[in-house]
Amino acid sequence: MHASTAKHQTRHLWLYVIAGVASLGGLLSGFDTGVISGALLFINDTWPLSTLEQGWVVSSALVGAVLGAAGNGVLADVYGRKKVIIATGTIFAVGSLLCAFSPSVFWLITGRMILGLAIGMVNFVIPLYLSELSPQKVRGMLVSLYQLAITAGILFSYLINRIFALSEHNWRWMLGAGLIPALILLIGIAFLGDTPRWLISKKREDEARKIFQKIEPEADVEQHIAEIRSTLLSPAKSKKKKVFERWMLAPVMVGVIIMFIQICTGINTIIYYTATIFKAAGFTDTIGALYATIGVGVVNFAMTFVAIFFTDKIGRKPLLYTGLSGITVSLFALGASFYFKSVLGIDLKWLSVGSIVAFIACFAFSLGPIAWILISEIMPLKIRGTAMSIATMSNFVFNFIVALIFPTLLKTIGEAYTFWIFGLVGIFSLFYTYYYIPETKGRSLEQIENNWKKGISARRF
């Protein structure tokens, strides 16, 4: 009995060490996503920027992210998940230093692109790494820890923005602070192994066995290996085997639309431009706007725990339905607050604040973590790295487009209509979730793959 308890404790400790170290990549992604919100206010003091230039400073990271997500799925399949994570930490460190010491807007944009390269890599490789290492019963929770790390990174960035707001070279300190978690990630990942599923795909089954015994000591390791091996075998015995089969198109397309939903409901415009939105809503003091962003960061971080505790208990889709409903209502309310201010002259800045807080809260327990959980679960093993890369790349393409045009939309059609457009996307998202997104709770990655092969519809998954 004592030996069994010790095994369980060892397994849990090992899993949480893996999740903790790997999720530092999420913290870096969140930090570099959120830090620009406050830094942008002070970059404008150093180099006065047009709205288009502001859009480029923010969205240049997304150009790099598209490139990072595009190429590294293949690298993750060929060289392994761990080596890609090591490369990611190195790139984060280099990008942070370049941003901190940028002598011009050009070099700042270049540094942000380099950081974006790392963001694009980390946002597919860490959920992939965690989903392939996690036991079925806690897979949703452990992948949710990645999203928790992203929200922690965003909160950390807001705190850093406030700490350095009144210092000399304020925005340089803000952008350079990402160097510290990048170094911690590099040191931590050096002590961890690769995923059993990748090792088996490379015929390194002895290494896979050792890792399975650490993370699931009570499970039948040989049965696990046999199941994974069977998903790698093609039914056709022809020497000319196709890596991509027609049935694989469905999960890849669902993954791309999930990323569309996550981004085009407007999350990153609110994260990137939180301080700017609060100033537009009536917070005339820059420090006051920064304090308001910290409040948003706290809500974002805290509400992610809802997903961690409930995604494996009640399922992915119930959380999506609840969160998307709240997101949609919040967007229409936020648009209304700006409409009443601009058209009727009624100051409803606290409705703006409440709408943003409600939006962030609903996103944090639904689209934030669930989107990454789903794309890490639904992709076939043979093309998992490449397929997740495609989904992640599409995330950043959508992100780039929205972030680049957001300042121009605010200037041309106004805040109200901009947020109402995002609200319409929210309505579409509810219908798409019902008809096309499968429930993956309680199913192994191999069971999910077999359902796609059989052509089972998402509603009957």
Q: What is the pLDDT of residue 11?
A: 56
* CA–CA dist 62, 119 (Å, integer): 8
Taking each helix axis from N to C end, the angle separating 105-133 and 24-46, rounded to the nearest 10 degrees, works out to: 170
Q: How confident is the model at residue 110 (pLDDT cuts 50, 70, 90)?
A: very high
Q: How confident is the model at residue 344 (pLDDT cuts 50, 70, 90)?
A: confident
Most confident by average pLDDT, 104-113, 146-155, 339-348, 449-458? 104-113
Q: Phi first, then psi: give them for residue 124, nearest 5 degrees.
A: -105, -35
Q: What is the mean pLDDT of the chain?
A: 83
Amino acid in the structure at residue 77: D
Q: Walk me through the domains of the chain, giving residue ranges and CATH numbers.
A: 7-194+245-460 (1.20.1250.20)
The arithmetic mean of pLDDT across residues 404-418, rounded, is: 85
Q: How confident is the model at residue 239 (pLDDT cuts 50, 70, 90)?
A: very low
Q: How confident is the model at residue 261 (pLDDT cuts 50, 70, 90)?
A: very high
Q: Six-digit token pair at 28? A: 């870096």
219: closest CA among 196, 200, 203, 201? 196
Q: How confident is the model at residue 5 (pLDDT cuts 50, 70, 90)?
A: low
Most confident by average pLDDT, 5-14, 236-245, 325-334? 325-334
The arithmetic mean of pLDDT across residues 376-380, rounded, is: 89
Is the pLDDT score of 188 beyond 60?
yes
Alpha-carbon separation of residue 228 from 220, 368, 382, 444 (angstroms) = 13, 29, 10, 11
Q: How confident is the model at residue 111 (pLDDT cuts 50, 70, 90)?
A: very high
257: closest CA among 398, 46, 457, 456? 398
331: closest CA among 239, 412, 432, 425? 425
pLDDT tens digits, one per residue of 25-66:
888 888 887 788 778 878 888 888 777 777 788 778 878 888
pLDDT tens digits, one per residue of 52-103:
777 788 778 878 888 887 777 778 888 888 898 999 999 999 999 999 999 8
Is the pLDDT score of 260 beyond 60?
yes
* CA–CA dist 92, 119 (Å, integer): 8
The arithmetic mean of pLDDT across residues 111-138, rounded, is: 84
| Cβ-contact 225, 208 below 8 angstroms | yes
* CA–CA dist 46, 44 (Å, integer): 5
393: closest CA among 32, 146, 112, 63? 63
Q: What is the pLDDT of residue 19?
A: 76
Q: Phi first, then psi: give them for residue 23, nearest 5 degrees.
A: -70, -10
452: closest CA among 223, 236, 245, 224? 245
Alpha-carbon separation of residue 347 from 20, 290, 292, 337, 445 (angstroms) = 44, 20, 17, 8, 51
Residues in the chain: 461
Q: What is the pLDDT of residue 422?
A: 95
In terms of C-beta density within 10 A (0-12 exposed, 13-18 middle, 19 or more buried), how is residue 304 classed? Answer: buried
- Specify the residue for token string 């229409």: 332
pLDDT tens digits, one per residue of 416-455:
999 999 999 999 999 999 999 999 988 888 889 889 988 8
* CA–CA dist 325, 3 (Å, integer): 47
Q: HEC profile for 295-310?
A: HHHHHHHHHHHHHHHH
